[in-house]
Amino acid sequence: MQYTQIKKTDPQIYQIIKAEEKRQREGLELIPSENYTSDAVMEAMGSILTNKYSEGYPRKRYYGGQKNIDAMEELAQRRALDLFVPQGSQKNWHINVQPLSGSPANIAVLLALLNFGDKVMGMSLDQGGHLTHGHPVNFSGKAYKFFQYGVRRDNQQIDYNEVEKIAFKIKPKMIISGATAYPRMIDFKRFNAIAKKVGAIHMADIAHIAGLIAGGVHPSPFPFTDVVTTTTHKTLRGPRGGVIFCQKKYASAIDRAVFPGLQGGPHDHINAAKAVCFGEAQKAGFAKYAAQIVKNSKVFAKELKKLGFSLVSDGSDNHLILIDLSNFEITGKIAQETLDKVGITVNKNTVPFGKRSPFDPSGIRLGTAACTTRGMKENDFAMITDLIKNALSNICNEKKLIKIKQQVKKLALKFPVPGIK
């Protein structure tokens, strides 16, 4: 994008945007919740649709002038259903594309289907879950009585038998599956079976892996799950936003929870960008991109292990790798800051059964989606592995870090960033 008007009217913001362009172009983005949108998605986000206010839902708005907005939102709904829900099951499903992001989508489901104080099961944050899966500092943990499940000590993977034992013991009204820092495939069908045994609603949060599910490289929670939430960015490569799918018997309650329960007018320009994103994900090249994400992750994990890194669960089935740095005697915070210096962006992260604070944990979280979008393949991730190891082995050597940064830049500039000319 050219930003010609911003350059004229607000040179300070223009300079910040250009500085961020430079950072993204010359660096390697490895945060698994980040990705690059297409030019088309960005055009929709920057369109005149942002001028319209559209409280309500298609054909049931509170303001006039909604003909084009209704057409846009209904198109987004149809495309999302076509992308994720098998044709024979679509008649049983409802979709709300208005949630502003993944956390509001999750909160809307809780608000719609539970009473304050109800029992819920979710994955513990320090073992791979999300804040909205019941962490005490989050609304979810304050308003509902959450019981947390986690992973086994021996292999750092979900123990479904243990999940079932907890479910039978506490008899929750809802079980949430899905994660934000779990490198392995999630058995949504098993979660659903457990939920049905105890009479619970099953909500699957696929925010991180939606693109992998759409691309056919991760098992889908459709058509058997009760409710599915997702973001539209991350592996799906769309705008920052959220979506809720639900069995039709929950449609009215969930729609009311989104509006007027939690939100006013939807962000029409973002919903249009969601529609563009869903359309892009139905094209043949998207499945190839999703498959490449997983290929890159497997090679990335293999090469990291060769260089002595300890991986949570000993590998990856998806877009995400979690490294426990305890054997390197450095913390996740130091690793993140050091890699920032050389242009490699990761995030510090807790690891299962880690003893350090979340502000300075033992791990870092890596993802392959963004660099895969730029066109990187297995050999490129092998090179990235070496750059990471060299940087973390030279934390106090500024001259060496400067040289590594030049190497990172040389690699990054071979691969264009969508949206940056």
- Catalytic one of 173, 234, 237, 348: 234
Q: What are all long-range contacts of 329-332, with beta carbons under 8 Å and residues at least 24 apart? A: 330/392, 330/395, 331/356, 331/360, 331/361, 331/362, 332/356, 332/360, 332/361, 332/362, 332/363, 332/364
Contact residues for 319 (Cβ-Cβ < 8 A; gap 6+): 32, 208, 209, 211, 212, 235, 293, 294, 297, 367, 368, 369
With beta carbons less than 8 A apart as the criterion, state whether 133 and 125 touch.
Answer: yes
- Catalytic one of 240, 305, 389, 409: 240
Helix, strand, coil in percent for the chain, rounding step 5: 50, 15, 35
Note the maximum CA span of the chain.
63
- Catalytic one of 180, 225, 230, 231: 231
Residue type present at position 33: S
Cα distance between the two ends of the chain: 7
Strand duo 201-205 + 174-177: pairing: parallel
Helix 378-392 crosses helix 332-341 at what angle (to 10 degrees)?
Answer: 110
Does the annotation list 366 as a binding residue?
no
Does the annotation list 358 as a binding residue?
yes
Q: Based on the residue annotation, tell me whether 345 is a catalytic residue of this protein.
A: no
Q: Which is nearest to 218 in space by CA: 226, 231, 206, 229?
A: 206
Q: Based on the residue annotation, tell me whether 280 is a catalytic residue of this protein.
A: no
- Catalytic one of 14, 21, 26, 53: 53
- Cis peptide preceding 358, ω within 30 of 0: no
Does the annotation list 125 as a binding residue?
yes
Does the annotation list 130 as a binding residue?
yes
Q: Based on the residue annotation, tell me whether 144 is a catalytic residue of this protein.
A: no
- CA 164 to CA 186: how far, in whole Å? 15
- Catalytic one of 126, 205, 280, 303: 205
Q: Based on the residue annotation, tell me whether 205 is a catalytic residue of this protein.
A: yes
- Cβ of 136: how many Cβ atoms within 10 Å? 10
DSSP letter for each residue of 345-359 = E-EEE--TT--S-TT
Q: Based on the residue annotation, tell me whether 231 is a catalytic residue of this protein.
A: yes
Q: Distances from the Cα of 242 to the Cαs of 39, 99, 282, 334, 376, in angstroms?
A: 20, 5, 18, 32, 27
- Cβ of 406: how many Cβ atoms within 10 Å? 13
Does the annotation list 129 as a binding residue?
yes
Helix 378-392 crosses helix 284-306 at what angle (to 10 degrees)?
Answer: 40
Does the annotation list 222 as a binding residue?
no
Q: Based on the residue annotation, tell me whether 55 is a catalytic residue of this protein.
A: yes
Does the annotation list 131 as a binding residue?
yes
Q: Binding site membership for (6S)-5,6,7,8-tetrahydrofolate: which residues?
A: 125, 129-131, 357-359
Please give the positions annotated as active site: 53, 55, 205, 231, 234, 240
Q: Binding site membership: which residues?
A: 125, 129-131, 357-359
